[in-house]
Copies of this chain bind each other. A is one copy, B any other.
């Protein structure tokens, strides 16, 4: 499955990038396939791999923040793997052009 999520403290200062960096570092060290954009991170794996990892990110942010907010979307499709790049490739093939400049 693919899980996309954003997690951040809501009680802190105007820039949350220091806290968000800690989250990305935890994910980067997990060994799971992931991709980070300006708004969210997508991870590919199984529920039992991804959810403990996200919980670890949550607990890291709670160390410095009394309030943490998260948005998460899941696309859980039977037998579908390699989709972090595969879904884009499928769209590009249909449109017959590159959409990532």
Given contact pairs A21-B94, A95-B24, A35 touches B73 in the complex (Cβ within 8 A): no
A2 CB to nearest B CB, Å: 6
Residue contact B78 to A69, C-beta cutoff 8 Å = no
Interface size class of A (residues with CB under 8 A): 35 or more
CB-CB under 8 A from A35, the residues of chain B are: 37-38, 100
Main secondary structure of the interface of A (DSSP, over half): mixed
Q: Copy number in this complex?
A: 4
Contact between chains at A17 and B67 (CB < 8 Å) = no
> With A38-B2, A91-B24, A95-B24 in contact, is A75–B83 under 8 Å at CB?
no
Min C-beta distance of A85 to chain B, whole Å:
7
Complex contact A42–B47 (CB within 8 A): no
Decide if A32 is an interface residue (CB 8 Å cutoff): no
The answer to whether B77 and A67 touch across the interface, beta carbons within 8 angstroms, is yes
